[in-house]
Amino acid sequence: MDVISVIRTKRDRGELSDEQIDWVIDAYTRGAVADEQMSSLAMAILLNGMNRKEIARWTAAMIASGERMDFSSLSRPTADKHSTGGVGDKITLPLAPLVAACGAAVPQLSGRGLGHTGGTLDKLEAIPGWRALLSNEEMLNVLDGVGSVICAAGDGLAPADKKLYALRDVTGTVEAIPLIASSIMSKKIAEGTGSLVLDVKVGTGAFMKNLDDARELASTMVELGTDSGVRTVALLTDMSTPLGLTAGNALEVRESVEVLAGGGPADVVELTLALAREMLDAAGLTDADPAKALADGSAMDVWRRMIAAQGGDPDAELPVARERHVVTAPTSGVLTRLDAYDIGVAAWRLGAGRARKEDVVQAGAGVELHVRPGAAVVAGQPLLTLHTDTPSRFEYALQSLEAAYDIAPAGTGFSPGAIVLDRIG
C-alpha cells in the first residue's frame, strides 16, 4: 500500500477500500504519511466526498488508532453533547454542570478553536489554574465526584483524529462533511458515553451554511452513533447571528457564569435549556427540570466544584485585554443583521483564535456586542467593542466588520428567527 495510490483514488472520485482506509489512518498516526500528503487526501475528500460505507470505515479506523474509555462503573447514566462550532458558542460551559445537577454524568471532551469559531478549552483556560489535560483516572474521578468534567481528549483516545483535526484547521479542509462527522463521532464513540446530543450549527458563522448540508452532516453522525450503540440525536440550530453578546475566551466565560447565576442573554439560556432537555431525555432522566436547576443555583454549585476539581479558581478575576476600540452606529434606525461569520473573523484577528496550529490565543481578546438584531439604535451609540492586547490588530479586525451589520430606517419591521431549526434522530 502507498499513500499516492490512496490520494489518486479519491482524487479521481473513486471509493476507498477498507484496506486503503485502515492503512492510511494507521500510517498517518505513525508518521509514515506526511502532513502534506494527508492534507492532499483531505482536500480530495472535501471536493469529492465519501459514501456511508467509507465514512463508517474511516470512523472505525480513527477509533482503532487508540483506546476506548469505559464509564460503566459510574452510578449515573452518561450523556454528552457536541457542537459543530459557532461564534459566541459558549453553551457547553453552563450546559455540562446544568445536566450534571439534574442527575446525569457528563464526560465532555472538547476541542480548541478551529478557524473563526472559538474553542471550549481555550475559553476555560482563561480561568487561572484550570487544566484541560487530565489522565483517564483523573477524568473518571472528577466525573464520579462532581458529575461533569470538561477536558481535552487524552493522547490515547483517537490519536489519528488529534493529528488530522489540527491539520484541517490550517489547510482549508475544515468543511468536509465526512471529516467533520468522523472526527466528532470517533472521539464520542471511543469516549464511551451512553447517549449523545449533537448541536449542528447552520448559517454564515457555521461550517454548514445551509439546512441541506447541515441535515446531511447531522444524519451522517446520528447514523454513525446509532450503529455503534450510542443513543444519538441532533438539533440544527441557527448561527447566522452570534450567540449571546460576546465572542472571545474570557469574555464568554463571564457570560456563561451570568447564565449559571440566573441571568445572561435570552438566546444562550434558551439553547442551553433545549440541549439540556434533549440530553436528559436521552439519558432516561425525563422527570428532571433543568430550568429549576438553573434557577435554584444547583447548576452554579456544580460549575464551581468542576472548575476547582480541575485546578481552577472559580472566584479568580478573569483576564482583561489591555486595549479596546468601540465601533459606533453610523446612522439611526433598526439593527436588522449582525453577521456571525464577520464577528468571528474579527475576534480571530484580534487574537481570540489561531491562524496556525502552533499559535497561542489571547485570553482577553474578542468582540463584545452591545445590541442584537431587532434593537433600535441611534447614530453614534456603541454597537461593538473590540478587545485585544495588540492594538496593531484593530485595523485588520475592522476590515472584517465593514459589511457585518445592516441598519434599516426606524419603524422597519423585524422578526427574529428561531434558534432551533430542526431535530434529527
Q: Please name each of the domains of the chain with its CATH number.
A: 3-49 (1.20.970.10), 80-309 (3.40.1030.10), 323-408 (3.90.1170.30)
Cα 125 from Cα 209, distance rounded (Å): 29
| Lowest mean pLDDT segment, chosen from 261-270, 287-296, 346-355 | 346-355
The catalytic residue among 22, 80, 89, 161 is 161
Residue with cell 464577528: 343
The answer to whether 218 and 424 have CB atoms below 8 angstroms apart is yes
- Give which of 323, 388, 385, 321 is closest to 350, Cα–Cα: 388
Cα 147 from Cα 150, distance rounded (Å): 11
CA angle 324–325–327, rounded 5-degree value: 145
The secondary structure of residue 105, as a DSSP letter, is B
The sheet that has 382-388: what strands, in order across it? Answer: 246-248, 366-369, 382-388, 323-328
The catalytic residue among 57, 162, 163, 187 is 187
Residue 183 among the catalytic residues: yes
Q: Is 44 exposed, middle or buried (0-12, 13-18, 19+ CB in 10 A)?
A: buried
* pLDDT, tens digit, 9 for 90 and up, residues 119-152: 999 999 999 999 999 998 999 999 999 999 999 9
Measured between alpha carbons, how far is residue 296 from residues 97, 264, 293, 302 in Å?
13, 15, 5, 12
- The x, y and z cell numbers of residue 98, run together, are 446544568
The catalytic residue among 168, 188, 201, 215 is 168
* pLDDT, tens digit, 9 for 90 and up, residues 293-332: 999 999 999 999 999 999 999 999 999 999 999 999 999 9
Measured between alpha carbons, how far is residue 335 from residues 68, 243, 244, 383 in Å?
49, 16, 16, 9
The answer to whether 198 and 218 have CB atoms below 8 angstroms apart is yes
Cα 181 from Cα 420, distance rounded (Å): 20
- pLDDT value at residue 357: 67
Residue with cell 466528532: 184
The catalytic residue among 10, 82, 162, 188 is 82
- pLDDT value at residue 154: 80
Residue 135 among the catalytic residues: no
- The x, y and z cell numbers of residue 356, run together, are 496556525
* pLDDT, tens digit, 9 for 90 and up, residues 366-410: 999 999 999 999 999 999 999 999 999 999 999 999 999 999 999
Q: What is the CA radius of gyration of the chain?
A: 21
Residue with cell 460576546: 246
Residue 298 among the catalytic residues: no
pTM, two decimals, is: 0.91
Q: Which amino acid is at 343?
A: I
Q: Directed axis angle between helix 159-169 and helix 35-48, to 10°? A: 80
The catalytic residue among 183, 195, 240, 256 is 183
Close Cβ partners of 128 (under 8 Å, ≥ 6 residues apart): 312, 313, 316, 317
Other beta carbons less than 10 A from residue 373's beta carbon: 17
